[in-house]
């Protein structure tokens, strides 16, 4: 409930042409939280016991609630960077060419990231990596995505968003596919760091495109659709990966995940190229 609304709020307040850097700033906080959370939880568990983790989680959530209630101004019609409009019907989400491309790419990206986050802890012990080292691998991946959001966000505002998405996704897909070849901690750390760098390159650009689409169909609608599809991908990834691991082996999880991401990237590039041609020809005014 919180994330799509927060993203829509930031997107509404983003200046035209600065969507990448604004959404990149938001992603910094999200990824830093995801990276720090497991480390903080592990420290609290070791020092004070498991119960303390949940007490601190509840306290942080309560503090965030008070912070929002006390300091976040209500977004009112006329105060945003775009005029207020009625939310688009659900069918319009899928008729907008740019939104179709965003949703296809988001699903594929979530499948790859979900598979890595779930199966790295399973793969680690197979190559004699300790639970602590597995935590380091996953945290470094997340921290890299966070730290690179600001410079990549600025690049997104001045560069070609589709090119950045394709480049970042290609790097992440290839790195994902070679994870089974790592064999030990340091190679695995380097490979998963490459996945993080690829994700950092694509993230601000895909969010900027989602903001662009939101100016047509409504920010809440576009951000909600993005998060729904991302969540579906994160749910499906462990199920599909589990089937491949049971019948072929854990290496197949990463090989197939990388291949699917690479194919999905190609499909996205073709969809966006077709959309650009249609916009240039004037076939879908306002949808570019």
Please name each of the domains of the chain with its CATH number: 2-280 (1.20.1250.20)
Closest CA to 174 of 111, 268, 281, 261: 261
Whether 124 contacts 134, CB under 8 Å: yes
- Which tokens in the block code for residue 179? 């994870």
The radius of gyration of the chain's CA atoms, rounded to the nearest angstrom, is: 20
pLDDT digits (tens, 9 = 90+) for 91-150: 677 778 889 999 999 999 999 989 998 999 899 989 998 877 888 888 888 888 888 988
Q: Which stretches of the chain drop beneath a pLDDT of 50?
A: 77-84, 284-288
The pTM (predicted TM-score) of the whole model is: 0.81
pLDDT digits (tens, 9 = 90+) for 192-216: 999 999 999 999 899 889 988 888 8
Torsion of CA 264, 270, 275, 277, to 10 degrees: 170
């Amino acid at each position: 409930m919180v994330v799509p609304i927060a993203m829509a709020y930031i997107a509404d307040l983003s200046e035209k042409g600065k969507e990448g850097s604004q959404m990149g700033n938001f992603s910094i906080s999200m990824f830093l939280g995801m990276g720090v959370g497991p480390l903080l939880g592990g420290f609290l568990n070791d020092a004070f016991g498991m119960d303390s983790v949940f007490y601190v989680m509840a306290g942080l959530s309560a503090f965030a609630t008070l912070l929002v209630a006390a300091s976040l101004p209500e977004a009112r019609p006329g105060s945003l960077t775009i005029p207020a409009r009625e939310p688009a019907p659900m069918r319009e989400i899928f008729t907008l060419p740019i939104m179709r491309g965003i949703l296809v790419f988001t699903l594929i990206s979530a499948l790859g990231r979900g598979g890595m986050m779930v199966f790295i802890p399973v793969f680690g012990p197979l190559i004699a990596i300790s639970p602590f080292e597995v935590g380091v691998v996953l945290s470094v991946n997340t921290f890299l995505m966070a730290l690179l959001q600001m410079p990549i966000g600025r690049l997104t505002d001045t560069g070609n968003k589709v090119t950045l998405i394709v480049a970042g996704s290609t790097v992440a897909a290839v790195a994902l596919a070679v994870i089974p070849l790592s064999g030990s901690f340091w190679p695995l750390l380097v490979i998963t760091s490459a996945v993080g760098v690829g994700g950092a390159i694509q993230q601000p650009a895909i969010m900027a495109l989602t903001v662009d689409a939101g100016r047509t169909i409504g920010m809440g609608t576009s951000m909600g659709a993005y998060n729904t599809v991302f969540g579906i991908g994160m749910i499906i990834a462990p199920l599909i990966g589990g089937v491949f691991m049971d019948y072929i082996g854990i290496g197949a999880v990463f090989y197939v995940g990388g291949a699917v991401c690479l194919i999905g990237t190609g499909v996205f590039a073709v969809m966006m190229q077709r959309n650009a041609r249609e916009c240039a020809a004037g076939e879908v005014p306002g949808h570019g």
